[in-house]
Amino acid sequence: MGQRQSALEGLGVRQFGDIYRGRKILLTGHTGFKGSWLSCWLSQLGAQVTGLALPPGTSPNHWDLLGKPAVDLHGDIRDLSVVQDALGQAQPEIVFHLAAQALVRRSYRDPLESWSTNVMGTANVLEVCRRTPSVRAVVVITTDKVYANHEWPWGYRENDRLGGHDPYSASKAACELVIDSYRKAFWRADNAPLMATARAGNVIGGGDWSEDRLIPDLVRAVQDGRSLEIRSPQATRPWQHVLECLSGYLLLGQRLLEGQKEFAEAWNFGPTPDDNRTVSEVLTHMQSFWPELAWNVSAAPQPHEAQLLYLDCAKSRAQLRWAPVWSLEEGLAMTADWYRNYHAIGKTVTVDQLARYLEAACAAGSDWIK
């Protein structure tokens, strides 16, 4: 587990009230970027994790590099029988649903994939959860792009109108409606499972090799010795390290497992307002780690993407007592360090970076680690 992790345990530090130790968990999308990091963290917390996902979509990929820290089930959530088999095997107390088609530009190429995966796939997961008596809590991960984007210069709150221009964003907004329907139609009884949604986006960190994402595209360009072609240098996004939103997901799951019904709703997890930066600002900062990084702006016509997106996370801060731990600069430094180490030695520093994050969370007085 590494010296840092061991030192934290020696001090008697507990995370999330130690609620995940020995807990049976189903994690959909565990082979993806966020899912693989969450698998790692949950295994460190002592949980019994079963993953359900498609096989990793890239080679290399973070999941395989981690040594598969969970029971590894492969299947498509659009197939109800696959979901039934996975929950039957896992008998989870809590489900973290991350499986999705998560790329905006890919949704333009194949819109039905986004709609079928993000809407019907989610409906399948919720329907099987409804039929599985062991399930006590469900955390569904959607996105910061579920909001009807008006290019406002202020953050979107959880009660703002949902919408979406591209098929990815619209399908995720529809996913929120499916969740709200299941909550109201089937889980209103006092002893019913509690379900919440988590909205975060533009997550960075090591181990991401997805297409059409800024950091993976940057890493590939540097490795290939070519200029990175970017689409929207002035597009502003709520960038954050992957561990930031995962701490929010885990804290939310803790509250649901504790039976706190007031947390069974939607939550934003995003950076401080100062860390909403443009693409060009992120690239300029990353150039300090990779001086050879060069980029140019594409002249080709591009499908519509929002230029300005902020999240208002006051609700999470006030009620969940959640807050970011690392600044954007620290998150970018960790991301660059992860890829540099991988390219140098062919191994991950994921567990070590998790331990460094926990140290920082302790120092910051984060409510979920004591």
For residues 127 and 198, what is the distance between their CA atoms, to the nearest angstrom?
19
Task: Give CA separation, 12 vs 17, 44, 254, 359, 370, in Å.
Answer: 12, 15, 19, 13, 8
Strand-pairing partners, residue 51, are: 27, 72
The full DSSP string for 219-248 is HHHHHHT-PEEES-TT-EEE-EEHHHHHHH
* Domains in the chain: boundaries: 3-297+309-364
**Structure tokens of 259?**
């039976």
Q: How confident is the model over 230-241, as a mean pLDDT?
A: 85
Cite the DSSP H helix spans in 189-299. Answer: 214-224, 242-257, 279-286
Question: pLDDT-derived band of residue 3, with 50, 70 and 90 as boundaries?
Answer: very low
Q: What is the arithmetic mean of pLDDT over 77-85?
A: 98
Q: Specify which of 161-175, 270-284, 316-330 reaches the highest per-range mean pLDDT.
A: 316-330
- The model's confidence at residue 109, banded by pLDDT at 50, 70 and 90, is confident
Return the CATH fold of 3-297+309-364.
Answer: Rossmann fold (3.40.50)
Element (H, E) at 6: helix 3-10
Mean pLDDT within 172-187? 96
Average pLDDT over residues 146-172: 89
Query: What pLDDT, on the 0 to 100 scale, is given for residue 136?
Result: 98
Residues 334-343 have pLDDT tens digits of: 999 999 999 9
Mean pLDDT across 45-53: 97
- Token pair belonging to 290: 């990779």
Average pLDDT estimate for 123-139: 98
Termini Cα distance of the chain: 19
- pLDDT class for 293, splitting at 50, 70, 90? confident
Select from 74, 13, 5 the least CA-distant residue to 40: 5
pTM metric for this prediction: 0.94
CB 304 within 8 A of CB 234: no
Residue 6 pLDDT class (50, 70, 90 cuts): very low
% of the chain at pLDDT higher than 90: 69
Structure tokens at 264: 């069974």
- Please state, as a whole number, how many other Cβ atoms lie within 10 Å of the Cβ of residue 22: 11
Q: Does residue 11 have a pLDDT over 60?
A: no
Share of the chain above pLDDT 70, in %: 95
- Is 90's pLDDT higher than 60? yes
**How would residue 368 be classed by pLDDT, with cut points 50, 70 and 90?**
very high
Residue 308 backbone dihedrals phi, psi, to 5 degrees: -135, 125
Is the separation of the CB atoms in 212 and 105 below 8 Å? yes
Collect all residues with Cβ–Cβ distance below 8 Å to 64 and sequence separation of at least 6.
56
Task: Band the pLDDT of 237: cuts 50, 70, 90.
Answer: confident
Residue 41 tokens, joined:
């963290």
The pLDDT value recorded for residue 1 is: 42
CB 121 within 8 A of CB 78: yes
Q: Is 45 helix (H, G, I), strand (E, B) or coil?
A: coil
Map tokens 């909205």 to a residue: 199
Exposure of 147 by Cβ count < 10 A (0-12 exposed, 13-18 middle, 19+ buried)?
A: buried
Amino acid at 169: S
Q: What is the pLDDT of residues 191-226, one digit of tens each?
A: 999 999 999 978 999 999 988 888 998 999 988 999
Cβ atoms of 323 and 269 closer than 8 Å? no
Predicted confidence at residue 235, as pLDDT, reads: 83
Instruction: Classify residue 145 by its DSSP letter.
Output: G
Average pLDDT score over the chain: 91
DSSP annotation string for 70-87: SEEEE--TTSHHHHHHHH
